[in-house]
Amino acid sequence: MDLPLSAEELQEVRPSMFEECFGSGPFIFRINENGVGPQLLTQVCLERGWREYTSENDNWNLWWRTTGFPVSHHKSIYSWQYLNHIPKGAAICRKDNLVRYLRCMKKVYGSIYDFSPHGYNLPLEYTKLAAECSRGRDATHKFLDEKPIWICKPVAQSQGRGIFLFRKLSELNYDTNTIVQRYIEKPLLIGGYKFDLRLYVCIPSYHPVTIYMYREGLARFGTDKFNLNDLRNPFRHLTNYSINKLGPGFTEMKDRVGSGTRKKILSRISDWLLWQRITTLVILTVLSHVSQIPPTVNCFEFFGFDVLIDNSLRPWLLEVNLSPALSNDCDADRLVKKPMLHDMFDLIGLPLYNTGLSVFDIFSDEPKENARQVIETTEPAKLSLKNTVNVVNAAGRWRRKHKKMSASQSSRSNSAARPRSRTASASNQKTFMNLPKVQVDGRSIGATVGSITTPGTKLVDEDVRKPDYKIWGNGRNWKYATPREGGWVRIWPIDVSSNGINDPSNSGYVKAMVNKMTKFTKTAKDLARKHPAASESQLSEYLQEEMNITGDVWIPPV
C-alpha cells in the first residue's frame, strides 16, 4: 500500500472517507491480533463510544498492540488510522539496550547521566564484570556481608521473572542474555517496606521531540520488610505486583501499608527537587535513543518508567516498560489508569462521542449495565444530532468534574501559564473535515486540512513544506504541542523556542537538549537551596521564570 497521506494529499481525500471513519460512523478500536487485551483499555474505549474491531469489517481507526508493529504497518496506514507504537521507539525498553545507551551518553555528557545503576551486558561483558568483582576483594570487604550486592535481570523476561541477587560471582548462573547491575542497597523505605514508582510517559512525536508525563502514578511495594541479610526472598527486594500478590505477607501488608501493593503517588513523598530530577531523568532517557527514530505520523508511544528513590532522595532509573500494565486489580489502578487513558486519547486528538453509560455515573448512584452491552445494542445511525450533542455535553460535564476534583494539583504550579483544555464542539464530533485547533501554549491557531495558518506568521507554512515534515491526519502539529491535557503535562519542550533545538533534522540537537536539561537541573537545585522555606508552588513559579517555561512544572498532585 501507499505511504501515509501527506498534508497536500489530504486536500484531495473524498469527504465520504472522513465521514465514514470519523463522522456519522463509529470510531473502531482494535486490540492486538485477536481482540484480547487489557481489560481497562477496552473499558475506556467503550466508554468513549468506540466500537470493537471485527473481522467482518476490516476498517479500524486505532490499533493498540502490546508488542510493536512491523515497519510495513506504519507505511500502509491511512491518515485516519492510528498506532500505539512508533518505529524503533521500543529500543529503550530492552534492558541491554538501555544499559548501553545510557553508558554511551554518560561517556559523552558526563555526570548528568548518572541516574542508572552501573551495569554489564552478559555474556558479552562477563570479563569486565569479573574484573569489577575482583577489585571488590580488598581489605575493606573482609566479610561476605560487606561485599557489594549485584542484581541479575534476564533481558527477555518481564514482571520480575528470573531476577535474583548475589554477592559472589560464583553465585551468578544464567542461560540467556542478561544484565547485571549494582543493587541500590539503601532505598527509601515506607513503613520498613521497599517501593518504587511507576510513572507514565507519552511520546506523540520524535520529530520534533515531544514528551508528556502524567501527574499521577503508582507506588509499588514489596510485601516483606526490607532486609539485606536475606537476598533470596524476592518479596523483600522486588516490587512487581505480579510477584508480590503471591507472597505470604500480601494480606498482612495490606493492613500495614494499605489495600494492595500499589498506591497512588500523592502524599507518599513530598520533595520538589526530587520531582524535577525525575523530570530530567525521563527526558534524558528518551534523548539517549532519539537519533534512531525515523520521521513518523499518526503513532505514539506509551511508556512505563520504573524509578527507585534511595534514602538520600536521589532517583534511579530501573527500567522502561513498553505497553505498561493496564490491569484493574485494585482501586489505585482504577483511580490512576482510567483517567490517564481518557486524557491520553484527548491529548492525541481521538474523538469522544456516543459515550457509554459511565459518563452518567456521576449523576446517579444506581447500578448500570455493562457499557459494552449498551453500546452494542445502540445503532449509531439512529442517533440524532440532538442526542449526540447531549452526549458530548454530558461528557464535557464529566470532564469538568474530573478536573475540578484535581483542582488541588493545579494550585501547585503557575496557573497563569495554563491554557484551558479545548472541548470538542458538536460539529467536530459529527465530522472531522473541520479539524481541531492546535494550541501554541494557550494561543489557538486555526487548522485546515493540509495546512495550518496564523495571521502574520509564515513559520508554520514553511514547516509544512519541509520534505521530512509530516502532519497528523487529524491536524495535530507537534511543533506546537499543548502544554497540558488533563493530567498529562508537557515536560519537553519546556518552552516553544526549544522546538528549534530539539528537531533531529538540526545538527547538534542532542547536545543542545542536554545543555538545556543541565541548566534546568542546576537551576532547580539552586532554587531549592536559596528558598528552603518556599512552597512547591512558589518554587515552580521561580523555575518557570528562570527557565522561561511556558507550560507547567511537573509535580504529582497533593
Residue 557 CB contacts under 8 Å (≥ 6 apart), including other chains: 215, 216, 266, 406, 408, 409, 412
User: What gap in Å lies between CA 103 and CA 97, rounded to an integer?
Assistant: 10
pLDDT score of 339: 94
Q: What is the Cβ-side half-sphere exposure of residue 440, based on CA atoms within 13 angstroms?
A: 18
Taking residues 350-370, report their average pLDDT.
Answer: 45
Q: Tens of pLDDT along 21-41?
A: 455 568 899 999 888 888 899
Grade residue 407 by pLDDT with cuts at 50, 70 and 90: low
User: What gap in Å lies between CA 253 and CA 258, rounded to an integer?
Assistant: 7
Nearest CA among 398, 391, 190 for reference residue 308:
190
* Pair 436, 447: CB distance under 8 Å: yes
Grade residue 249 by pLDDT with cuts at 50, 70 and 90: low
Give strand pairing partners of 307.
197, 317
Select the more confidently predicted residue: 307 or 453: 307
User: What gap in Å lies between CA 61 and CA 473, rounded to an integer?
Assistant: 11
pLDDT score of 57: 73
- Which amino acid is located at 68 in the chain? G
Q: Tens of pLDDT along 272-296?
A: 999 999 999 999 999 999 989 998 8
- Residue 552 reports pLDDT greater than 60: yes
User: What gap in Å lies between CA 537 and CA 482, rounded to an integer?
Assistant: 21
Length of the chain: 558
The cell numbers describing 244, all together, are 508480590
- CB environment 362-387: b (16+ within 10 A), e (fewer): eeeeeeeeebeeebeebeeeebeeee
- Residue 255 reports pLDDT greater than 90: no
SS3 of the chain: helix, strand, coil, percent, to 5:
40, 20, 45
User: What gap in Å lies between CA 233 and CA 131, rounded to an integer?
Assistant: 28
pLDDT score of 419: 37
pTM to 2 decimals? 0.77
pLDDT score of 223: 86
Q: Tens of pLDDT along 115-161?
A: 999 999 999 999 999 998 887 555 445 555 678 999 999 987 776 67
User: What gap in Å lies between CA 347 and CA 203, rounded to an integer?
Assistant: 11
Q: Tens of pLDDT along 192-204?
A: 999 999 999 999 9
pLDDT score of 35: 84
pLDDT score of 138: 52
- Residue 100 reports pLDDT greater than 90: yes
User: What gap in Å lies between CA 39 and CA 554, rounded to an integer?
Assistant: 29
- Which amino acid is located at 65 in the chain? R
User: What gap in Å lies between CA 438 and CA 460, rounded to an integer?
Assistant: 11
pLDDT score of 396: 55
Residue 201 CB contacts under 8 Å (≥ 6 apart), including other chains: 211, 212, 213, 214, 282, 286, 302, 303, 304, 305
Least confident of 255-269, 359-373, 446-460: 446-460
